[in-house]
Chains A and B, each alone.
Chain A
Amino acid sequence: MFRYIVRRLLQMVLTFFGATFVVYALMFANIDDPFQALVGDRPLTDTQRAALNAQYHLDDGFLTQYWHYVTGLLTGDFGRSLTGRSIGEMLAQAWPVTIRLALLAIVIASVIAVGAGVLAGLRRGGAFDTVTLVLTLIVLAMPIVVLAPLAQLVFGIQLGWFPPTATRDANLYQLLLPALVLGTLVVATELRVTRASVAENLRADYVRTARAKGLAPKRVVGVHVLRNSLIPVITLIGVDIGVLMSGAVVTEGVFNIPGVGFNLLRGIRTEDGPLVVGFVSVLVIVFLVINLIVDLLYAALDPRIRYE
């Protein structure tokens, strides 16, 4: 187990550098004239431009620039955004907001998905199953770029049930609507995986044994079927946390929540290379760590799986 974790951590280091390199290269290729984008319509003198170029190493070659960046990163220095702010500080402010949003979304989505999925799986072909099938299809077909502004317009502005935007120190109620929207990204697949898994496990031989033991249906399902059925679902939920991070870019943009996605979106719009690469680097780490935790959790849930 320990050796497995060490090996995975070493793999993560490689993956991390590979991923940041790609993002860095993409940003490098994409940058046109960041300082002009920064100052907008105002004129920029040649001396100012030269000074800024020197400060941000923009005159150096690509590999030299990447080298500067990585050495900074390893000493915990994420550098400064083109607006002059410390990226490390911006990360520290943005992450708590996004983590709260993503956690709220994942909790809402998994509770709905597992609850409804188990019910649908127990009564396959019934009315409830058919209704959830149609609903999940609708949710799957609705892209978040449509759903987010629509929800904001209907529930936030017209009906006024929820605040249409959220601030940095938003409470749970303010985050509820964005979290619901974000949750739709993953709820449908989680629900359908739960349903399929429950339906499959109900037919398993060990369920027949449990019934032959004279156990009540509640116990057969609640103890024997559920634990087996949830193994693939929990793995999926773990992976979905990553999906939610990327979904947060749109949701935070729409609801004006100053989280990771919001900053990323702004960085991309203003061609702020250091900002984008900094935020993506942390996203990559989060994603890798979550994946490792999911794999370890998988072994904890299913005793047949052992890591060497």
Chain B
Amino acid sequence: MTDITAQVDVLPGLDPRAPLLHVEDLNVEFRTRDGVARAVNGVNLWLNPGETLAVLGESGCGKSVTAQAIMGILDTPPAHVTGGRVLYRGVDLLQLPESERRKVRANRIAMIFQDALSALNPVYTVGFQLGELFRVHRGTSRREAKRRAAELLDQVRIPDARRRVDDYPHEFSGGMRQRVMIAMALALDPEVLIADEPTTALDVTVQAQIMNLLAELQRERNMGLMLITHDMGVVADVADRIAVMYAGKVVEEAPVYDIYAHPAHAYTKALLESIPRLDLKGRPLNVIRGLPPALTDIPSGCAFHPRCAYAREICRLEPPPAYQIAPQRVTSCHFVREVLGV
């Protein structure tokens, strides 16, 4: 692998010893005609090299918006980042001018999207779309870019890569298309990879292949992987730590083993109980009643209280503070002791 820092203009204030990625009190709102939707309300996250952080939550909890805010690819308007910091190696990306920030994308922080068919441009060959990265960011020639594109396709185990660079996205199967997306994200050797539900659109056997490929490439390159998903099964296999999001907030954060063994937030516990289990076959499933709140009208206090089995008066009145209950374990629940059963 070539040294990327030598090839990319050095960012002002970049500190190689600073944490890889640190999101601090991030706030994003969507200003629409129907009112202001508070999609992200003070998210705190951090990510280390070589680590996989799973961001877990129901649809509309703000996980994708958080990812897109980190990338800086939200549509503004309607989306506005109203507060917080996104620190990459000590540099606050939110303060960078757009031209500088563009160099961060794909070079240092790259992203994979859910539906590779719509995320790839239908009218250009995958070779063009991959090679574009080298041509724009590295100034390589068309031919050289195509050669490297084929190399990348080979690295993500697409058979017959040399011939397939000239194919269009619709000529690939779903799994192969997602491999193309992965190749695109890894092209410039980024340090952070954000994968937004990378396997949701795929069938189960292909899902496993893609997750294995991601894990393998991550290990090889010592990348920080932020995996956004709502699939608890995927998370258990690959994640080191989990951040559970609800209504635009991280409600619980913990190493993966701890969270499955001892959930410390009423929401996390309810989520885990709603997974069908073979040993509980025949018994009714514990589903979470109700729906996630509308982001234009988030409940007061703890946003989860209307659906929570533990909820009491205080949950409606006061937002719970973040309790540090163990090293690397943070939870925002008033009744953390009761939930943990201690």
Contact = CB atoms under 8 A, between A and B. Distances in A.
User: Interface on chain A toward B: helix, strand, loop, or mixed SS?
Assistant: helix
Given A208-B73, A219-B136, A214 B120 contact: no
Contacts of A210: 121
Nearest to A217: B98
B105 A205 contact: no
B121 A206 contact: yes
Interface string A185-207: 00000000000000000011110
Contact of A302 (B115, B119, B122, B132): B122
A210 B130 CA distance: 11
B201 to A, nearest CB: 11
B123 A212 contact: no
Interface residues of B, number: 29
B219 to A, nearest CB: 23
B120 to A, nearest CB: 6
Contacts, number: 71
Interface in A212-260: 212-216, 219, 223-224, 227-228, 231
B326 to A, nearest CB: 35
Nearest to B111: A212
A213 B132 contact: yes
A120 to B, nearest CB: 18
B123 A216 contact: no
B136 A214 contact: yes
A212 B136 contact: no
Interface residues of A, number: 23
B170 A304 contact: yes
A301 interface: yes
Nearest to A207: B121
A303 interface: yes
Contacts of A206: 118-122
B107 A228 contact: no
A228 B184 contact: no
Interface in B87-122: 102-107, 110-111, 113, 115, 118-122
Contact of B105 (A204, A211, A219, A224): A211
B69 interface: no
Interface in B123-153: 123-124, 132-133, 136-137
A209 B168 contact: no
A227 B122 CA distance: 10
Contacts of B73: 208, 211-212
